[in-house]
């Protein structure tokens, strides 16, 4: 791949793609923003061009590229084959047990066409919903693109979710078809999947068929007339299908995210605006060259990162990607670095929690592998600690490559805030500035923009193409959840806190409900966590505020120590950490308690579940653990703190 600019020097302009995409000086008015997005949309194939870039007359419900018609799957697959790129690899697929597949764009087109024909044979028509619960196997991509090709909104449910979680999503969407597999590989074992989906569909009358991919070759329960094997139905279909163009606002997918009420929110994304922004951001943020780069986003397809930056954005840009089924520790802790070396990965996009896990394992691990192909690193999921940023760059990036720290959400659909590589000096831990075409501000309680050096609430004050079009079936909840807080100003409230530094760059502080109030002082959990991780003994940290009768809230920290740091007296280590935080932030931020733990409770997407840690800190029984990547972690934490052995049931 071509050399990438070092992000540290201020000299030099942005890379060619970013420079071409960036607004011209003064392009900050609404008309300029719309002209910018119009130019990005022109990078796609449209059957019918739009008549209006944005219709915001029914705010907060947007209509982008009004009157335009396109087919998302055609843009992601067929047009590349027709342009002569059929032999280019779309995916290097790596199964957890070590099995592999190489899928070219021509292969991808054939498989998507077969899958689309199979769905048509089941009587599905545009507008019908399809639920998908699959492991990270190629059929997951085939199924998503086949749905997009036919105008069937898909609802992808993460493979580790419980039957109850799957059932609630099927019922809310009214899905007619469920696509699943017999099982999935997790940490070297074949785990059941079909048996769980049967439990979910037992009381889901909308499901007419269950299409099952054979992955683990394990015996599964079977309902004749309803259940169908993928290889029997799909593999026998014709490999040609003529796609139909759909309106730019045709629903593309519903992706459910947890809600504060316990009832999941079905985030609705549509076609034209979503594909425009995911394709643009993927090109610009990663400075991507489709002819030379090998790109790997380590997320799961069941999350928005997988939708936008494994499937739709990369394929729209004719990217060669790695698709990996397994966990980072199977069969050994160097698996990710082994995959990077094997395929010559040049762009690596992962979560801060995994980076901190690598830190815990030690710098000697990546040093065993040839990572010289890496030319760009990305971070996603939550704010990255400056110390983790520096470690990532030094030990994965060879102390020579840019890191793009990206902020966005399921609801935004695409990256909103990130540094364009080479465009400005990097700031470890800062997402820095909104991307061209995006407008974001940090505001106070009244919605007024705060000054430099001040903190507040992160809002988006202008509509954007990939924005959610509502919550499926619940307009009132959409308005109340995202628009009510600053309704008088028309701001979308992201739910995150942020601050401007003295240069006006943005630093994310995490969810506003992760801000602690200690003796009247508002302290971000992210700030304390960053201070802890900056200590050489700490590999990872999570901080929560626990109720305290004196101070309102007391700071409780859970830390994972680096190898060798546990050799001394634990009380001495925690005392040193408390003083370190006091020096880094101030005495008010000194944790009341620091608890050394073996692991932290994380979701499958890598986010720390601080709600569960708050339960521990306040001596409550831990709440729902079904979304954890490893539910046994909570038993280990509780056992370590109480001295009782963990449960084995």
222 is in an annotated binding site: no
> What does the buried/exposed string (b/e) look like for 309-341 if buried means 16 or more CB atoms within 10 Å of the residue's CB?
bbbbbbbbbbbbbbbbbbbbebeeebbbbebbb
Q: Give the whole-angstrom CA distance, residue 425 versus residue 432.
A: 10
Bridge-partner residues for 560, per DSSP? 540
Say if residue 209 carries a ligand binding annotation: no
The DSSP H or E segment spanning 615 is helix 610-617
Q: Identify the H or E element spanning 506.
A: strand 506-511
Residue 305 labeled ligand binder: yes
Coil vs helix vs strand at 590:
coil
The span from the CA of 370 to the CA of 269, in Å, is 39
Q: In what order do the strands lie in the sheet with 251-257?
A: 227-229, 209-213, 177-181, 130-132, 154-156, 251-257, 265-270
CA dist 76 → 80, 82, 108, 135, 573 (Å):
7, 12, 10, 21, 53
What tokens does 442 get? 């940090």
Q: Choose among 174, 236, 227, 226: nearest CA to 204.
A: 174
Q: What angle do CA 283, 285, 287 make, to 5 degrees?
A: 55
For residue 381, say whether it is annotated as part of any ligand binding site: yes
- Burial string for 432-467 (b: 16+ CB within 10 Å, else e) reads bbbbbbbebbbbeeebeebeeeebbbbbbebbbbbb
226 appears as a binding residue in the annotation: no
Quick check: 471 and 266 in contact, CB under 8 A? yes
Pairing of strands 440-443, 209-213: unpaired
- CA 189 distance to own-chain centroid: 25
187 is an annotated ligand-binding site residue: yes
- Any known ligand binding at 125? no
202 annotated ligand-binding residue: no
Write the DSSP string, 389-419.
HHHIIIIISTT-S-EEE-B--TTT-S--B-P
321 is in an annotated binding site: no
Q: Is 272 annotated as a binding residue?
A: no
Q: Among 70, 71, 73, 154, which Cα is nearest to 111's?
A: 73
Instruction: Classify strands 177-181 and 130-132 as parallel, antiparallel or unpaired.
Output: parallel
Asked whether residue 535 is marked as a ligand-binding residue, the answer is yes
Sign of CA dihedral 623, 625, 627, 628: positive
Residue 408 marked ligand-binding: yes
Neighbours of 162 (CB within 10 A): 14
- Alpha-carbon gap, residue 574 to 570, rounded angstroms: 6
Residue 496 labeled ligand binder = yes
CA–CA distances in Å: residue 355 to residues 307, 362, 388: 22, 11, 7
Task: Find out whether 538 is annotated in a ligand binding site.
Answer: yes
C-alpha radius of gyration, the chain, whole number: 24
Q: How far is the first Cα of the chain from the last one, in angstroms, to the nearest whole number?
A: 51
Judge whether 483 and 493 are in contact, CB under 8 Å: yes
Strand duo 227-229 + 209-213: pairing: parallel
Strand partners, 552: 518, 548
CA 119 to chain centre: 28
Confirm or deny that 383 is annotated as ligand binding.
yes
Give the residue among 207, 64, 32, 53 at the shortest CA–CA distance from 122: 207
Residue 559 annotated as lining a ligand binding site: no
- Alpha-carbon distances, residue 496 vs 256, 424, 459, 511, 632 (angstroms): 19, 24, 8, 4, 29
Instruction: Confirm or deny that 446 is annotated as ligand binding.
Output: no
Q: Which residues are annotated as a binding site for Mg(2+)?
A: 533, 535, 538
Q: Which residues are annotated as a binding site for CoA?
A: 186-189, 305, 519
Q: Which residues are annotated as a binding site?
A: 186-189, 305, 381-383, 405-410, 496, 511, 519, 522, 533, 535, 538
Q: Which residues are annotated as a binding site for ATP?
A: 381-383, 405-410, 496, 511, 522
């Amino acid at each position: 791949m071509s050399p990438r600019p070092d992000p540290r020097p201020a000299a030099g302009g942005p890379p060619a793609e970013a420079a071409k995409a960036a607004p011209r000086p003064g392009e900050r008015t609404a008309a300029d923003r719309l002209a910018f997005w119009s130019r990005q949309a022109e990078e796609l194939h449209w059957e019918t061009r739009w008549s209006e870039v944005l219709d915001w007359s029914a705010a907060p419900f947007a209509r982008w590229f009004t009157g335009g018609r396109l087919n998302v799957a055609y843009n992601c697959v067929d047009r590349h084959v027709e342009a002569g790129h059929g032999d280019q690899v779309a995916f290097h697929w790596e199964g957890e047990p070590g099995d592999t597949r190489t899928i070219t764009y021509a292969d991808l087109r054939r498989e998507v066409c077969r899958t689309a024909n199979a769905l048509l044979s089941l009587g599905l028509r545009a507008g019908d919903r399809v639920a998908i619960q699959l492991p990270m196997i190629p059929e997951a991509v085939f199924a998503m693109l086949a749905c997009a090709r036919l105008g069937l909104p898909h609802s992808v449910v993460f493979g580790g979710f419980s039957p109850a979680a799957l059932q609630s999503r099927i019922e809310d969407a009214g899905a007619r078809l469920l696509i699943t597999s017999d099982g999935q590989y997790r940490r070297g074992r074949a785990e059941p999947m079909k048996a769980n989906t049967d439990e979910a569909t037992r009381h889901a009358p909308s499901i007419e068929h269950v299409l099952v991919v054979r992955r683990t070759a394990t015996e599964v329960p079977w309902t004749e007339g309803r259940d169908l094997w993928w290889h029997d139905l799909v593999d026998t279909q014709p490999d040609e299908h003529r796609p139909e163009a759909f309106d730019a606002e045709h629903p593309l997918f519903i992706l459910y995210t947890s809600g504060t009420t316990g009832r999941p929110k079905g985030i609705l994304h549509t076609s034209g605006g979503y594909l425009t922004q995911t394709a643009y951001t993927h090109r610009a943020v990663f400075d991507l060259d489709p002819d030379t780069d090998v790109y790997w986003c380590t997320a799961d397809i069941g999350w928005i990162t997988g939708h936008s930056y494994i499937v739709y954005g990369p394929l729209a840009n004719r990217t060669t990607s790695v698709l990996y089924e397994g966990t980072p520790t199977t069969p050994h802790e160097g698996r990710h670095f082994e995959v990077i070396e094997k395929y010559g990965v040049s762009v690596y996009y992962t979560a801060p929690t995994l980076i901190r896990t690598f830190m815990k394992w030690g710098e000697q691990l990546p040093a065993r592998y040839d990572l010289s192909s890496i030319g760009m690193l990305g971070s996603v999921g939550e704010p990255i600690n400056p110390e983790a940023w520096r470690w990532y760059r030094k030990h994965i990036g060879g102390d020579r490559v840019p890191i793009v720290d990206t902020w966005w959400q399921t609801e935004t659909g695409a990256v909103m805030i990130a540094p364009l590589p080479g465009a400005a000096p990097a700031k470890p831990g800062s997402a820095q500035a909104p991307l061209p075409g995006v407008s974001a501000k940090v505001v106070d309680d009244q919605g007024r923009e705060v000054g430099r050096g001040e903190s507040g609430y992160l809002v988006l004050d202008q509509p954007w193409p990939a924005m959610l079009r509502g919550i499926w079936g619940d307009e009132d909840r959409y308005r109340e959840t995202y628009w009510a807080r600053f309704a008088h100003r028309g701001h979308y409230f992201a739910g995150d806190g942020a601050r401007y530094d003295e240069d006006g760059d943005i630093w994310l502080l995490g969810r506003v409900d992760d801000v602690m109030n200690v003796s009247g002082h508002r302290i971000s959990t992210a700030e304390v966590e960053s201070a802890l991780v900056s200590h050489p003994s700490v590999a990872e940290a999570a901080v929560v505020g626990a109720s305290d009768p004196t101070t309102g809230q007391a700071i409780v920290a859970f830390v994972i120590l680096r190898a060798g740091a546990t050799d001394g007296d634990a009380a001495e280590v925690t005392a040193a950490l408390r003083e370190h935080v006091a020096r880094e932030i101030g005495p008010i931020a000194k944790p009341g308690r620091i608890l050394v733990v073996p692991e932290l409770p994380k979701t499958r997407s890598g986010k720390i579940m601080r709600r569960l840690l708050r339960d521990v800190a306040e001596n409550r029984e831990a709440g729902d653990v079904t979304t954890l990547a490893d539910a046994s972690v909570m038993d280990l934490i509780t056992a370590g703190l109480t001295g009782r052995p963990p449960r084995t049931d």
